[in-house]
Amino acid sequence: MFRRIADFEKCWAYESEQTLRVLRALTDASLAQRVAPQDRTLGRMAWHLAGTIGEMAGRTGLAIDGPAHDAPPLSTAAGIAAAYERAAASLTASLQAAGWTDEALLVEDDMYGERWARGFTLFALVAHQAHHRGQMTVLMRQAGLAVPGVYGPARDEWASMGEQPPEV
């Protein structure tokens, strides 16, 4: 749970940039990749990340400049990345415009039938995208894409650093 706006803003800047790195590595052809017929496609998962920012933040009263949670997904990887980028930037701008303070992070809102402190809601947004980023990297590998490292180099990046990837 975040207790300081500044801590969230620093974390969100890093996490949303890492999500953008993953989204920008997608291709239009890769958007159809899925594990099984009943599972989300890579494109649907990426679109879900873009739409969830406004959906979750909206439950706290923030207005986000991004796609509606139930909007049909865009058909291009570049379009999805741009929509995510706009929504992610809008989140911090909306916090500032709403005048949220550190104390505001303790205010509770109805979130899916539960009462969540706003600091927890912001944490849930970060954790939610990290969760789906991990799923997306598996689908990216299945689609033959290079996976960008997020919390350290990915297998694909070791050679560019003049190193061998760790042994499996």
Q: Which residues pair with 115 in a beta bridge?
A: 110
Buried b (16+ CB within 10 A) or exposed e, 141-153: eebebebbebeeb
User: Residue 111: in which H helix or E strand, if any?
Assistant: strand 108-111
* Mean pLDDT within 67-91: 97
Compute CA distances 131 → 56, 94, 107, 158, whole Å.
Answer: 16, 24, 25, 23
For residue 159, pLDDT beyond 80: no
pLDDT value for 155: 83
For the chain, give the percent of residues with pLDDT over 70.
100
pLDDT of residue 138: 94
pLDDT above 90 (res 109):
yes
Q: How many CB atoms lie within 10 A of CB 34?
A: 17
pLDDT single digits (tens) 126-140? 999 999 999 999 999
pLDDT of residue 2: 97
Say what angle helices 5-24 and 77-97 make with each other, to 10 degrees: 170
Dihedral through CA 109, CA 10, CA 23, CA 54, nearest 10? Answer: 20
Burial of 19 (0-12, 13-18, 19+ CB in 10 A): buried
Tokens 């689609």 -> residue: 143
**Angle ∠(50,56,61) on CA atoms, nearest 5:** 120
CB atoms within 10 A of CB 100: 19
16: nearest Cα among 85, 119, 118, 92: 85
